[in-house]
Amino acid sequence: MARVAAILRCIADIWGDLWDVREERPTPHGFPVCLGWPHGMPRGQGAGGPRVVVTTELARHMEWWRAAGGARSGAVLGLPIGASTIKRIRRLLGHHYIADQAAWWEARAEDLADLTIEAFAARHGCSVGGASQARAALFGPSLRPAGWWRAPDVAAVILADRPRADIADDLGISVGTVGRLRWMLQQDRHR
C-alpha cells in the first residue's frame, strides 16, 4: 500500500491558484515557507514531489531582497529552501539577478564616477573590489594621454618640495608613481 501525504490545508499562491500544503517550514521573518502540490493534481511517483508555494509573504520578501541589492542563496535570504529553488522562484517572479545588479550599479554611476573607490564602497555597502570592477565595466580604464606628466604645470607639481603623499593625492596617482615620475623628470633635466 502506498503512502499518502497528509494535507495540512489548502492555500492560494500569488496568482490565485490553489495548492494542497503538505509541509510548512518556519522562517525568522514571521511567515512559513509552504510546500505542496497544485490542488487536484496527481502526486507521488511519476508526478513530482512537493514544490514551494509562492505565497504573498514569500513574494514580498523576495521583492524586498531584490530592491535591497539581491541575494542568490536561501541562507542569505533567511529561508529554509535551497539555491535552485530560489532561482526558480526568482524566475517565476520575473526577477533577473544580472539585470538587477546592472541596474543597481547604473543607478549609482554618478557616485561611482565622482567618489574614490573606498568612499563609494563605504557609502553604498559594497566591496572595494566590486566597486573597482564596476567602475572599469561602466567607464572603461581611466587613461591619461601619453607623457601627461611632462607638461610644465604637472612637472612643477611633481618636482615641488612637498611630501610625495600630498602630490599623489593632488594628481590622483600612487605615492610610488610620484617617486618614479620625479626621478624621470630629474633625469630629463640633467640631460
Residues 126 and 154 in one domain: no
pLDDT band for position 1 (50/70/90)?
very low
Residue 169 inside a domain? The answer is: yes
Residue-level pLDDT at 70: 61
Tens digit of each residue's pLDDT (9 = 90 or more) over 105-147: 999 999 988 888 899 999 998 899 999 999 888 888 877 887 8
Residue 4 inside a domain? The answer is: no
The model's pTM:
0.59
Residue 48 inside a domain? The answer is: yes
102/133 Cα distance (integer angstroms) = 12
At 124, is the secondary structure helix, strand, or coil? Answer: helix
Residues 92 and 40 in one domain: yes
Residue-level pLDDT at 6: 82
Q: What percent of the chain has pLDDT over 70?
A: 92
Tens digit of each residue's pLDDT (9 = 90 or more) over 28-56: 999 999 999 999 887 777 777 889 999 99
Residue 1 inside a domain? The answer is: no
Residue-level pLDDT at 181: 92
Residues 34 and 84 in one domain: yes
Residues 13 and 96 in one domain: yes
Smallest CA-to-CA distance from 182 within 144, 155, 147, 162 is with 155
Residue 182 near residue 158 (C-beta atoms within 8 A): yes
Q: Is the pLDDT of residue 77 over 80?
A: no
Residues 53 and 24 in one domain: yes
Q: Which domain holds residue 31?
A: 9-100
102/112 Cα distance (integer angstroms) = 13
Please tell me the total count of domains within the chain. 3
